[in-house]
Amino acid sequence: MELAPEQVAISNVVESLAKTFQPTADQNGLTFSWVIEPGAPEQVETDRRRLGQILKNLLSNAFKFTEKGDVALRVFSQPDDSVSFAVRDTGVGIAAHQQEVIFEAFRQADGSIHRKFGGTGLGLSISRDLAALLGGAITVQSELGAGSVFTLTIPRSFSAKAPLTRRRKRRLR
């Protein structure tokens, strides 16, 4: 996969996501909020398309698994010269023992044949791989019945790192 790193304005990314997901929030009777915290960088050097793909997947999941309450996007700076995009929801949450399984291809927290929420179970797997390609990672904090926070953290400046690529290839075999 080829990446196209460029300077990406964080405010443009957030505004685009807000425009995309506000109708979903309105249609489902949910509150959708977003904030770029003071101290967050104005720009990051990354692949705009891949960043958008990851964030759209995280927000889509948040709306899919939230029947009431809210979904929020928060952008903030990290002390290690990286930036985080946290997607918080008040949805169904994920049991502790399933929080790593959901990142595996074709796996979901609801692994039954009659999945209530649908989907292929590929979104988080692909998103985690894309995050690694961008030099970052996705983490999850969740409690069953109390919602989730998925946080994408990427470096402010893109750097193609050979060891990361090798590590990724080993994992996919």
Structure-block tokens of residue 150? 């998925």
3-class DSSP state of 109: coil
The CATH code belonging to domain 5-172 is 3.30.565.10
* Residue 57, burial from CB neighbour count under 10 angstroms (0-12, 13-18, 19+): buried
Domain residue spans in the chain?
A: 5-172
pTM score over 0.85: no
- Comparing 101 with 9, which gets the higher pLDDT? 9
Q: What is the mean pLDDT of the chain?
A: 84
Q: What are the pLDDT digits (tens) for 32-83?
A: 999 999 999 999 999 999 999 999 999 999 999 999 999 999 999 999 999 9
Alpha helices in the chain (DSSP H): 10-28, 48-64, 123-133, 162-172
CA 65 to CA 82: how far, in whole Å? Answer: 28
Q: What is the pLDDT of residue 14?
A: 98
